[in-house]
Amino acid sequence: MNFSPVGSDILRTIKEPFSENDVLYLQDLFLTPGVHHIEVDNIIKTRTMIDKVLYSLQYHQKAACLSLSDLPLATGVSDVLKTLIADDYLVSKNNLVLFFLEHFYFDFLWIEETPNLLDSMWYEQFKQHLTDFNFNRSIPIVRVAIK
């Protein structure tokens, strides 16, 4: 997995088992507000790693994931897509804004940027709302890209 912290174009490769420096780096990444990038080969391994780090940190009270994958999320992790679909927040641009006003109380978010998500018309608006509401400055947001 390749990681890039906020404001850096430098990628750091991390492989399991994690070294002590890798653990400290991941801890910093998962606790620092801003948008962080991960490049991965396998979304399943990455999700397992994210779950392990979140569980180990015991810091975030309301973690969430935006993914089009059918893979189940760990207990306690909010499925953003299910909420967006169930409450019709994707029907219009104004409804998507309402989602952020009514439901976005997360303190950690990761986004699994699969090709299908990147092709979604609403995803660009979603990312823009993260910026408009300053979530990109107040919580860690990890964007997971598939190589």
Those residues of the chain that have pLDDT short of 70 are: 1-11
Residue 26 has a pLDDT of 86
State pLDDT tens for residues 116-146: 999 999 999 999 999 999 999 999 999 998 8
Residue 95 has a pLDDT of 92
In which domain, by residue range, is 14 found? 2-146
Q: How many other CB atoms are found less than 10 A from the CB of residue 104?
A: 18
Residue 4 has a pLDDT of 52
- The number of domains in the chain is 1
Residue 3 has a pLDDT of 59
For position 103, which CATH number holds? 3.40.50
